[in-house]
Structure 1
Amino acid sequence: MNLKNELQTVHNKLETAKRKLNAAHDRGDTAMISQFNKTVEILTKKLKSVKAQQTKQLSQQGGDVKSLPFSRVLTKQEQADMGKLKKSVKGLVVVHPMTALGREMGIKEVTGYATKEF
């Protein structure tokens, strides 16, 4: 299971446990309250762990892309015909500033990274 799916699964389980915890508080069921408090604590730790893994993986991917020897901002015309550009430049990696990778790298415009000049 990839990290995005795992993150979503853990988040859903956490929300369910919190909802059940609130219901147990309303009923005054102390046994269930303690059980769900433990469950919420465990799921919160797991959620932080998965987010940390995701951040580490993203920063590693950003480092790999930045290590490519050539990069430049893509023109609007190149962005419009991305298929043609990717066919002409082997190994081209395009990073958009609104993606998670783009935000991690801190780019402001659509940028292409490649092993050779294009």
Structure 2
Amino acid sequence: MNLKQELQQLNDKLDKFRRKLDAAEKRGDQGVILQFKQEIATLTKRIANVKGQQTRQLNKKGADVRSLPFNRALTKAEQADMGKLKASIKGLVVVHPMTALGREMGITKVTGFAPKSF
């Protein structure tokens, strides 16, 4: 299971436990309230751990892409025929500014990174 799926499942469980906690508080069931508060605390800690792991992976991928010796913004024509561009340039990595990697790298235009100039 990848981190994105795990994070989604953890958030679903957290939502479920919060709803059950609300119901237990309405009933006044102290034992169940304490149990769900502990569950929520452990899930919150696990979610923070998974998010940190995602951030580390994204930073590593960004560093790998940045280490490629050549980069430049892609023209609209190149963006329109991305398949042809990728086929002609071996090792090309295209980063869009609206993706997580693009936001992390701080790019503002669709940029191509490659081992040699293109």
Other-structure match for 1:35: 35
Aligned-pair distance for 1:9? 0.6
Other-structure match for 2:93: 93
| Runs of 5+ consecutive residues of structure 2 not aligned to the other structure | none
Other-structure match for 1:52: 52
Q: How does 1:63-82 map to 2 (within 5 A)?
A: 63-82=63-82
State the distance in 2 between where 1:72 and 1:31 align. Answer: 60
State the distance in 1 between where 2:105 and 2:67 align. Answer: 12
Aligned-pair distance for 1:27? 0.6
State the distance in 2 between where 1:80 and 1:17 align. Answer: 47
State the distance in 2 between where 1:58 and 1:109 align. Answer: 19
Letter of the 2:7 partner, please give it: L
Query: What TM-score do the two structures reach when normalised by structure 1?
Result: 0.99
| Runs of 5+ consecutive residues of structure 1 not aligned to the other structure | none
Aligned-pair distance for 1:42? 0.3
Aligned length: 118
State the distance in 1 between where 2:2 and 2:91 align. Answer: 24
TM-align CA RMSD:
0.4
The ranges of structure 1 where at least 4 consecutive aligned residues each deviate by more than 4 angstroms after the TM superposition are: none
The alignment partner of 1:94 has SS state of strand
State the distance in 2 between where 1:23 and 1:109 align. Answer: 49
Query: What TM-score do the two structures reach when normalised by structure 2?
Result: 0.99
